[in-house]
Structure 1
Amino acid sequence: MRLMSSRPQQPGRWDPHVTRVKSPIPKLPNHKPYYIAGGATIVVMWYVLSSYLNNKERLSSSVLRTVSHRVKDAPEVHALVGQPVQLKRSAFGDPWIEGIINPVKGKVDMSFQVQGPQGAATVYFTSVRKAKGEPFEVLRFLVVPDGDSTRAVSLLSGGSPQKVAM
């Protein structure tokens, strides 16, 4: 038998013998799905923004300007896609340049699309520099029409690697 104390219980004090609960403790909401969705959204937005900014940097490159002028002036390309030859715009509004343009490290490997009145083509350009201060060596400079790779045109002079100062 339990002994009851004669003094009244003070408000705010815990009595270890009372086991009745007036109302159940509410369940805490699970915010984990919101955190996961928010994190995934941030990662996707970061990727899209960094890709867009990297493409903007490639578009402002002097290497791209040089290569695109050579492509626009080449009679072989005019025969493939017609004249005038323009860089093909992407969904972002600017032309999309794939690959790497890093003249400081001596590596340029890029591709982009051009279009004309007779169709579109993809330009592949690869160039390397063996040592600092040496000229770049153009390894690949191809224009491949979309849908017909048998009519690809090489813009390398003489079909062999060419030294170019960039």
Structure 2
Amino acid sequence: MIRPITKRISQRIFTSSNLYRNGAFTKFPAQTRSLVAAPKPEQGPLMERRSDRELPEINNGGMLWLRTIPIFLVILGSSCLAIFNYQKSSSPVVASTMYALRTSTKAREVLGDEVYYAYKMPWIWGEINLLHGKIDIHFSVKGTKQRAVMRFTSHRAKRMGSFVTTEWSLETADGEKHDLFEGNDPFEIIDADTSEKKIVGRGSYAPNISG
């Protein structure tokens, strides 16, 4: 029994050695793939993307965005000022003073006809605080004769009181000041009438819940 087994083993070894010599067990060479370079800006779009592609270069100037912070702050500040100025220019205070200026005899003598803002985008300087009862504004106006700066100042002593105008004048380019306040308060146009019956839901009037 031992001899046949030994004979079989020797035959297998002989057969394996012959196959190895003939190249049956020769190792196949490993397949290699070259890296694909990342597309450059002037090249066309990449139609296919492989996992072994070359990674793009990282710019060293990663903190360049810090230089744009001052520009961002300037744009933000300018936008805020423009919003606040638009709010003041569209307020009923400015509209009432302009209406009173157009209908004032003294203002027409100084400015002439066609009284309007001096610039297409008027800039309203000063403060309009109706909540605390303080108005102090001035802006440029023009007419057919000349330009001037209109100043309007009004205040409210009590919370439920009426506004009292203390100054309403025109100052021309030569420094001459013309007082327009003749006893007719231009702010009365937008000031609520104390004798008017309050209606629920109108303006800032709060309804009497107690009945």
- Relative to the length of structure 2, the TM-score reads 0.56
Instruction: Report the counterpart of residue 144 of structure 1 in structure 2.
Output: 171
**Which structure's relative contact order is higher, taking Cα pairs within 8 Å and 6+ residues apart?**
1
Bigger share in strand: 1
Aligned residue among 149, 153, 158 for 2:178:
153
1:135 equivalent to 2:166? Answer no
Aligned residue among 116, 125, 128 for 1:86:
116
Whether the aligned pair in 2 keeps the contact of 1:139 and 1:162 (CA below 8 Å) is: no
Gaps spanning 5+ residues in structure 2: where? 1-58, 192-211
Please show how residues 43-58 of structure 1 align to structure 2 within 5 Å: 43-58=73-88
SS of residue paired to 2:77: helix
- Aligned pairs, how many? 131
- Relative to the length of structure 1, the TM-score reads 0.71
Deviation per CA, 1:103-126: give whole Å up to 9, x if none: 111111101111111110000111
What is the identity, as a one-letter code, of the residue corresponding to 1:50?
Answer: C
Aligned residue among 88, 94, 98 for 1:68:
98
Computing the radius of gyration over CA atoms, which structure comes out larger, 1 or 2? 2
1:99 equivalent to 2:129? Answer no
Gaps spanning 5+ residues in structure 1: where? 1-27
1:115 equivalent to 2:142? Answer yes
What is the alpha-carbon root mean square deviation over aligned residues? 2.2
Whether the aligned pair in 2 keeps the contact of 1:136 and 1:163 (CA below 8 Å) is: no
Deviation per CA, 1:53-85: give whole Å up to 9, x if none: 111111111111111111111111111121011
What is the identity, as a one-letter code, of the residue corresponding to 2:180?
Answer: L
In the alignment, the residues of structure 1 paired with residue 164 and residue 186 of structure 2 have an alpha-carbon distance, to the nearest angstrom, of 4
**Identity in percent:** 21
Instruction: Report the counterpart of residue 17 of structure 2 in structure 1.
Output: none
Whether the aligned pair in 1 keeps the contact of 2:133 and 2:163 (CA below 8 Å) is: yes
